[in-house]
Amino acid sequence: MEFNKENMPRHIAIIMDGNRRWARAQGKPASFGHKAGAKTLEKIVRYANKIGLEYITVYAFSTENWKRAEEEVNALMMLLQSYLDDYSKRADSENIKVNILGDITALSQGMQKSIENCMKRTKNNTGVTFNIALNYGGRDEIIRAVKRIAEQAQNNQIKIDDINEKMISDNLYTADQPDPDLVIRTSGEIRLSNFLSWQVAYSELLFIEKNWPDFTEQDLDDAIMEYQKRTRKFGAS
């Protein structure tokens, strides 16, 4: 696929929706769909690295997902931990930098250890930065940022008039990263579901009918080509 190299998105964010729907259509449990989705994710991140994307962010587990059945949550957490451990083992060969967005303190000690190890093993990699939003909520992220800024103001480290967009961005999980240029959601749902609420203010949005396990490298190519057809105005007329 020949892209316009001067108009490549630097950062693509993906809401990986439809794993459970995909599994139900085959008469399988949700865990079957999540495993298939994990294989798709591995393939897409590897391809993103190959074509030179700088950042890719995926919505793996939201703060609201704890409301799901305990069996499904436990299976998903085990899958995610296994996924992180596998990335740690391949850190030297794939050159992908793994970063976690979200409140990891609510996760098990084993999961926290896997996260710490994976981020440490991949921190010097120079390929795509792979952000995994885990126990993440956009509003929760903003609240945490506001609390950190309020604490700085309370301690006279900053003045109220110092607070601006950049300061808020600098206190988010994605500090020092560009906002997503393109957000893709699979499964046909047309909403953002509390994903990167601050960062996607001017992102291009693309909603795809396919369920996530069926998403391919060609679909990512098509999404980038669609992005390149659009004119980004950032609020200008």
Of the candidates 59, 63, 201, which has an alpha carbon nearest to the alpha carbon of residue 144? 63
Task: HSE, CB side, 13 Å, CA atoms: give it for residue 144.
Answer: 16
d(CA 186, CA 28) in angstroms, rounded, equals 20
Catalytic residue annotation: 17, 65
What angle do the packed helices 217-229 and 30-50 form, to 10 degrees?
60
Residue environment code for 64-97, b if the CB has 16+ CB neighbours within 10 A, otherwise e = ebeeeeeebeebbbebbbebbeebbeebeebebb
